Amino acid sequence: MFEQLGLIGCGLMGGSFALALKRAGLVKRVVGYSKSPSTTERARSMGVIDVEAPSALLAVSGADIVLLAVPVSATEATLKAIRHLVSRDMLIMDVGSTKRDVIDAARRVLRDNIPAFVPCHPIAGKELSGVDHADPELYAGKQVVITPIERTDPAKVQRATQVWEALQCQVVHMTPEEHDAAFAAVSHLPHMIAFALINGITDQEQGRNFLSLAGPGFRDFTRIAAAEPKMWRDILLANRQELLAQSKLFQRALLEMEQMIEGGDSDALETMIEKASDTRARWRLSQKKH
């Protein structure tokens, strides 16, 4: 049981964490701060947080658990804002979709207090962001990747693992590098592709007409393209190295298919499609549920 959660960022991710922690009976009090005062106020009136903090620093004051739930690009500034009240007794976690850049920022800012910081990425989300969509069930049954570094306190990693497991998450430990490569492949690259596909179509004179013919396959394929631009700009930039490496591998596979199609190599093409189709048919999201 924690005495006080200091929540920085009261949006979908942060708000849902606070609600889940409260419902699990794991925290007595939630003190929250959001950049936008109206968000903080809304979070309090919804019961997501108990007390509004006027600054990130004051949200941390008295907290024994701190969650950074801000865009990855805001991590460094947020850590700077709170560092004077951060102590090694706290458990500090984030929820960012990229880990190396977050860890780099934490190293630069937290210095001697870095052992208290456990980098986390809960694989959960919704199409709708904001505290209004905060949901105590958001994390239940989802995976959380924890990417400790050498200097992370093993006791804090254990504590963080217990917290997420108490919220019915399945915790996976990886290195930050493995994490960033994996998410470049299965999330960031698909987003970049979906953005490029849509722009490639609408840049054509007849593109809007083409879109009016698109069916359910297109709907599902491009659903991720409706994502929040600022957040995705930040993610793509934060993970640029792994993203560009994954994009090269994708383009190599695409070129291979193009050559088969151009050369009319029907058998090889079928083999390629079959390989992808089999992999996808065997893949199940439910593998990640308890």
Q: Which of residues 54-113 bind a copy of itself (CB under 8 A)?
A: none
How far apart CA 224 and CA 194 sit, in angstroms, is: 7
Residue with Cβ nearer a copy of itself (85 or 185): 185
Site for a copy of itself in 148-177 (CB under 8 A): 172
**Which region, judged by CB under 8 A, interacts with a copy of itself, from 62-70, 132-140, 156-164, 202-210?**
202-210
186 binds a copy of itself (CB under 8 A): yes
Number of H helices and E strands in the chain, helices first, is: 13, 9
Report whether 12 contacts 43 (CB < 8 A): no
The candidate with the shortest Cα–Cα distance to 47, out of 135, 141, 112, is 135
**Which region, judged by CB under 8 A, interacts with a copy of itself, from 3-11, 36-44, 152-160, 203-211?**
203-211
Residue with Cβ nearer a copy of itself (159 or 221): 221
Residue with Cβ nearer a copy of itself (61 or 247): 247
Across the beta sheet with 120-122, the strand order is 120-122, 143-146, 170-173
**Which region, judged by CB under 8 A, interacts with a copy of itself, from 6-14, 76-84, 85-93, 268-276?**
268-276
CB of 105 to a copy of itself, least distance (A): 16
DSSP 186: I
Task: Report long-range pairs for 270-279 (Cβ below 8 Å, ≥24 apart).
Answer: none
How far apart CA 217 and CA 135 sit, in angstroms, is: 29
Residue 259's Cβ-side half-sphere holds a number of Cα atoms within 13 Å equal to 7
Interaction mask 114-143, a copy of itself, x per CB under 8 A: ---------xxx----------------xx
Residue with Cβ nearer a copy of itself (92 or 181): 181
